[in-house]
C-alpha cells in the first residue's frame, strides 16, 4: 500500500484532497453517468464490462431513456426494460394484505412502451443468455386486487446468482435475512465475521463508492474479497482516481443502526477510541441522519459494548445507548492493508 493511500485512510485531509461522499468526475464511462443521472452505480457497469457480473439492474427516468439506451449500445451493453414504475408513493399498494412484507420500493407498474412516465426498470448485460435469465427471476412482489403475491425464495436466490453474488452470501442470506424479524439486518453478517473485517467486503457504502453491491455473508467473506479485488484491478486500469476514491470510502469506520442508517468516520481507532475529523451520513434515501449534528460537533468516539460516548476536546457531550430497536454496531475497515 502506498504512503498516499495510508494518509487517505487516516483521513488526514489536505486542501487538495477531495471531500468524502462528493461527486466524482468520471474519467471513463462518463456518458453512462450523464445518461442515467449520477455516478451511484458506476462501479457496477465496470463489473459487467469486466465480465465479473453477468447483469445489473437499473432505474432510469423515462425522459432519459432514449439517450441511456443509445449509450449502453455504444459499450456493447444489451438492455431489456422490465417495466415502468410510476406513482411511487402509492399507499394503496403498501396497504394491501401482506404489505408489511414489501421492501422499500413500492410503485405502480406498467409495461415498457405503454406511454407511462416514471422510472424504467432495466436489465443490462453483455450477453443475451444472461439477460434472459435475469428477467425471469428479477420480478418484484406484486399487488393484485390489493393482495400481495410474494416472490418464491428460489427466485430470490436465482436472482442473486444472475446478478453475480457469491454463493456463500446468497445461501447465508437465504437462511437468515428477514427484515420483519431483525431491525438491523446488517448485524447478521457482522456477527458472522470471524476474522478481521476486510475492506474489500465493506458493503456499507454500496450506494456511494464501493466494489460490491450485495450484502456479504460476513465482512471477511473470501469470495467477496476476491471479486472486489478483481473489480478494483479493472477499474484501476481505466480510472485510477476513481479506484482511489472508492478505496478511501471503503476504508472508513462505521456505526450501523440498520441498512441505510449508517454513519461514517475517518481516523484509525486505537483500542476502543476513535479520533476523527470527518463524519458523514452514508445515505439519506430513507432516514434523515438525525445524529449527524451530534457527530459533527464532536471529535472522538469511545465505543463500549452497550454504549458509545461522543466527546469533544476530552469532554463527554452525548451518550448513545443500545436499545432493542437500535441495536447498532461499530466496525472499522480503516487500517486494512489487504491490498
| Distance separating alpha carbons of residues 83 and 108, to the nearest angstrom | 10
Q: Does 168 sit near Zn ion (CB under 5 A)? A: yes
- The binder of Zn ion chosen from 166, 189, 197, 267 (CB under 5 A): 166
Pick the piece of the chain touching Zn ion (CB under 5 A) from 116-124, 220-228, 244-252, 254-262. 220-228
Q: Does 217 sit near Zn ion (CB under 5 A)? A: yes
| Distance separating alpha carbons of residues 284 and 262, to the nearest angstrom | 9
CB 84 within 8 Å of CB 119: yes
Pick the piece of the chain touching Zn ion (CB under 5 A) from 78-86, 163-171, 226-234, 315-323. 163-171
Q: Does 235 sit near Zn ion (CB under 5 A)? A: no
Pick the piece of the chain touching Zn ion (CB under 5 A) from 63-71, 188-196, 209-217, 322-330. 209-217
- The binder of Zn ion chosen from 20, 93, 221, 255 (CB under 5 A): 221
Q: Does 164 sit near Zn ion (CB under 5 A)? A: no
Least CB distance from residue 168 to Zn ion, whole Å?
3
In 3D, which of 270, 234, 230, 228 has the Cα closest to residue 249? 228
In 3D, which of 118, 123, 116 has the Cα closest to residue 69? 123
Question: Which one, 60 or 215, has the nearer CB to Zn ion?
Answer: 215
Least CB distance from residue 132 to Zn ion, whole Å?
26
Give the CA-trace dihedral at 121, 127, 130, 133, to 10 degrees.
Answer: 80
- The binder of Zn ion chosen from 33, 106, 122, 169 (CB under 5 A): 169
Phi first, then psi, for residue 37 (nearest 5°) are 90, 40
Q: Does 138 sit near Zn ion (CB under 5 A)? A: no
Q: Would you call 120 helix, strand, or coil by DSSP? A: strand
In 3D, which of 176, 179, 182 has the Cα closest to residue 324? 182
Positions that interact with Zn ion (CB under 5 A) = 166, 168-169, 217, 221
Amino acid at each position: 500500500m502506498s504512503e498516499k493511500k495510508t494518509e487517505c485512510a487516516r483521513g488526514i485531509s489536505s486542501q487538495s484532497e477531495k471531500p468524502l461522499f462528493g461527486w466524482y468526475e468520471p474519467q471513463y464511462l462518463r456518458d453512462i453517468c450523464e445518461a442515467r443521472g449520477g455516478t451511484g452505480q458506476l462501479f457496477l457497469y465496470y463489473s459487467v464490462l469486466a465480465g465479473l457480473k453477468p447483469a445489473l439492474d437499473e432505474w432510469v427516468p423515462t425522459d432519459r431513456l432514449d439517450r441511456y439506451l443509445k449509450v449502453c449500445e455504444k459499450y456493447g451493453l444489451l438492455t431489456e426494460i422490465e417495466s415502468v414504475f410510476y406513482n411511487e408513493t402509492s399507499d394503496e399498494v403498501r396497504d394491501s394484505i401482506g404489505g408489511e412484507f414489501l421492501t422499500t420500493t413500492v410503485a405502480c407498474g406498467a409495461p415498457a412502451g405503454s406511454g407511462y412516465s416514471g422510472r424504467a426498470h432495466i436489465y443490462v448485460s453483455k450477453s443475451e443468455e444472461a439477460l434472459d435469465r435475469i428477467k425471469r427471476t428479477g420480478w418484484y412482489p406484486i399487488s393484485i386486487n390489493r393482495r400481495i403475491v410474494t416472490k418464491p425464495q428460489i427466485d430470490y436466490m436465482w436472482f442473486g446468482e444472475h446478478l453475480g453474488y457469491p454463493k456463500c452470501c446468497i445461501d447465508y442470506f437465504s437462511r437468515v435475512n428477514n427484515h420483519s424479524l431483525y431491525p438491523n439486518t446488517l448485524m447478521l453478517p457482522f456477527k458472522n465475521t470471524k476474522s478481521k473485517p476486510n475492506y474489500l467486503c465493506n458493503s456499507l457504502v454500496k450506494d456511494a463508492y464501493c466494489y460490491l453491491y450485495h450484502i456479504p455473508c460476513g465482512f471477511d467473506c473470501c469470495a467477496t474479497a476476491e471479486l472486489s479485488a478483481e473489480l478494483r484491478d479493472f477499474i484501476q486500469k481505466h480510472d485510477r482516481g476513481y479506484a482511489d476514491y472508492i478505496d478511501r470510502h471503503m476504508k472508513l469506520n462505521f456505526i450501523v443502526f440498520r441498512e441505510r442508517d449508517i454513519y461514517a468516520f475517518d481516523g484509525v481507532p486505537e483500542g476502543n477510541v476513535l479520533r476523527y475529523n470527518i463524519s458523514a451520513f452514508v445515505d439519506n434515501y430513507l432516514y434523515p441522519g438525525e445524529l449527524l449534528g451530534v457527530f459533527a460537533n464532536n471529535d472522538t468516539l469511545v465505543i463500549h459494548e452497550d454504549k458509545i460516548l461522543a466527546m469533544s476536546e476530552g469532554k463527554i457531550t452525548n451518550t448513545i445507548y443500545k436499545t432493542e430497536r437500535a441495536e447498532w454496531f461499530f466496525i472499522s475497515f480503516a487500517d486494512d492493508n489487504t491490498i
